[in-house]
Structure formats: C-alpha cells, structure tokens
Amino acid sequence: MPMLKHPRTGRPHLRTVSITGVGSYLPSRILTNQDLEKLIDTTDEWITSRTGIKERRIAAPHEATSDLAFAAAKQALHDAKISADQIDLIIVATITPDMLFPSTACLVQQKLGACRAAAFDIEAACSGFVYALDIAAHFVQSHTYDTVLVIGAEKMSSVVDWKDRNTCVLFGDGAGAAVLQNRPTAHGLLTTCLGADGTKATLLDMPGGGSACPASTESLGKGMHFLRMDGKETFKNAVNAMVSAATEALNRCGLTVGQIHCIIPHQANQRIISAVGERLGATEDQVFVNVAKYGNTSAASVAIALDEAVRTGRVRRGDLVLLVVFGAGLTWGAAIIEW
C-alpha cells in the first residue's frame, strides 16, 4: 500500500495528533506596575513603554509550580472530556520545578491521580511548551501513547530578585495545559521545529542551586539563585530566532504568513512581539497578545495564550495557528496547528 501523504505538508502521514483540550490557571493575586513603584525605583511609564506589561500574577506562598500545573491540567482534561486515568504520559515544561527532584510531572501525576501515566519534566525555559508539544506528538504519532498531557507551568516569582528592577518587572506566574490525542481527522499538529544555541547560555540564566554551584552561604550571598539577564542581547536574539523559526515552520507546511489565522508568540515583551509580527509581514490582527495582563510566564506563556485564544473564540475549528517561542539556552521553536 503506498504511504499516505499529509494533504498540507506532503510528508508521510503519521498518526494525526490533535489538541483535544486546553486549560490554564492564573493565581488570583495581581501585582500592578503601580504596586512595583512602591517596591523598587521604577515607574508605570517605564515598564509600559519598554515592555507593554501592566500587571502580572503572583502565586500565593503555599502554591508551588505543581499546584498551578494541576489547576491548568484539570481544566484541560475537562475540556478534552477525559478522566485522569486515561492519561498515558504527563510532560511538564518548567524552569521553576517544585524541587530538583522528583520531577514536577510526578507531583502533578499524584495530584491528578493519573495512576497509569508515565511522567517527566523537560527544561527549555520559555520555549518549553513547544519543545514538550514536539516530544508529545512523537509519542502519539509512533503509537507509543494515545493520550499525552502537556503542561507549561512556572512560579517565576520564586526565582526573580525583587530588588533588581532590570528583571523583576518582567515576569509572572501561571500555567497552561493541553491534551494531545490521536483523532481520525485532518485537523491537528502540522509541524514543529526546534532550535538551540548553547554558546549564548549566559545571556539568561540562574547559576546557583545545580551541581555547578550548589546552594551555600556564599552562593546565597552572591545572589546566584536569582535569574540574571542581559536584556539588550536577549532582545535581539529573540526577534531573530523567532522570525526564523516561524519562517521554517511555514515553509515546511508550504504556507504563507497570510494564511495563518492566529499567531501566538511567546509573551515576553510587546516590542519583541511587534518586531516579530512586522518582520514576518503579519498584520496586528493576526497576532495574539496578552502580555499586558500576565508579563512573561516563561514555559506557561503560549499555553495560557492558546487557551485564552480558544476560549474567547479568537481561534476556531479549522483555523491555522502558529506558536512561536524563544527562551534561555538559548532555545527557540515554532509549531503550526490546524485547529
């Protein structure tokens, strides 16, 4: 029998991977730019004009990343109309795990009671959700698993230095989740492409707490357990990498940017989002933006945005959706989904 080709990509037709449910969770506490004016030497005007961020969500002290992930996952399971015992695999993308081990995915598995599921974390910083989608899709395409729960979840407030105005204004907490399943339909994930450049690892990092620099009085004193960033260089690399990842994904599917109904870029900074949209030749209407409300929630960012876009009717059945991400590593990626 001849190998079936996918109608859009022209590639051998593996099992179609559909996103059958999405969900998200944002902690209830809102920290506005005006609140930050009282904590550090900054202004609403500076933060808004440089980043587009007006407010961000901050998890309660008792809420860990697995709690945010669990809340988003429950919504996604409800949306997919499946129960926890149907999940074969849980992948959590995060740079703020509850602890170094066990994985946050195992803690989420326990909270959900997903007793049949295998579970592991992946770490690709703000690109994590698209990396996890790619991994999950391969498991479904290859018949290894039928139902995979992918979560991007972060408690960024636990790793930012609240005295450093260069970074603390940028980040927020939250989680987004998606259920991936095989469905006998043409709709689904059309392509994913990933990239990384470890030569630029120091542009955005948190050096303390791992095997290279275990926690010690000295490492604490030097602030090595806080996120550090070269903002200007990160900005330039983000725009270039996101444009080329999006272009590669479009080319792989034989699509032009004009055919995409909704572009969901990583929500780090309005200026990065606008520059990427312009360089791709997209109209403002095509680009989904919610960075003003949540700031940069790292691996959760595009997952939260996708859920919001679906819930508000911004993404409808049959629409072509482009996710494009960038993060520490450096890492980047893009995914095209026929919804």
Q: Is 33 in the site for ligand COA (CB under 6 A)?
A: no
- Candidates 39-47, 60-68, 71-79, 141-149: pick the segment binding ligand COA (CB under 6 A): 39-47
Nearer to ligand COA (CB atom), residue 124 or residue 149: 124
For residue 270, state whether it binds ligand COA (rule: CB under 6 A).
no
Binding of residue 280 to ligand COA (CB under 6 A): no
Give the contacts of 103 (CB within 8 A, at least 6 positions apart): 92, 97, 119, 120, 121
The reply to whether 50 sits near ligand COA by the rule CB under 6 A is: yes
Distance CA 254, CA 260 (A): 12
Would you state the structure tokens that stand for residue 118, as one six-digit string? Answer: 């295998």
**Binding map of ligand COA across residues 207-246, x = CB under 6 A, - = no contact:** ----------------------x-xx-xx--x--------
* Cβ-based nearer residue to ligand COA, 194 or 320: 194
Question: Applying CB under 6 A, does 84 fall inside the site for ligand COA?
Answer: no
Helix (H) or strand (E) holding 167: helix 165-168
Considering all CA atoms of the chain, what is the largest pairwise distance in Å, rounded to the nearest integer?
69
Q: How far is the CB of 313 from ligand COA (least distance, A)?
A: 28
Q: Does 54 bind ligand COA (CB under 6 A)?
A: no
Contacts of 136 (CB under 8 A, 6+ apart): 17, 89, 91, 148, 150, 180
166 binds ligand COA per the rule CB under 6 A? yes
For the CB of residue 338, give the shortest distance to ligand COA in the complex, in Å.
27
Residues touching ligand COA, count (CB under 6 A): 21
Other CB atoms closer than 10 Å to residue 183's CB: what's the count? 15
Rounded CA-CA distance 257/286 in Å is 9
Name the burial class of residue 91, with classes exposed (0-12), middle (13-18) and buried (19+) by CB atoms within 10 angstroms of its CB.
buried
Sign of the dihedral defined by the CA atoms of residues 126, 176, 13, 182, in that order: positive
- Contact with ligand COA (CB under 6 A) among 176, 327, 329, 333: 327
Catalytic residues: 126, 266, 296
Residues that bind ligand COA (CB under 6 A): 42, 46-47, 50-51, 126, 165-166, 169, 229, 231-232, 234-235, 238, 268-269, 272, 296, 326-327
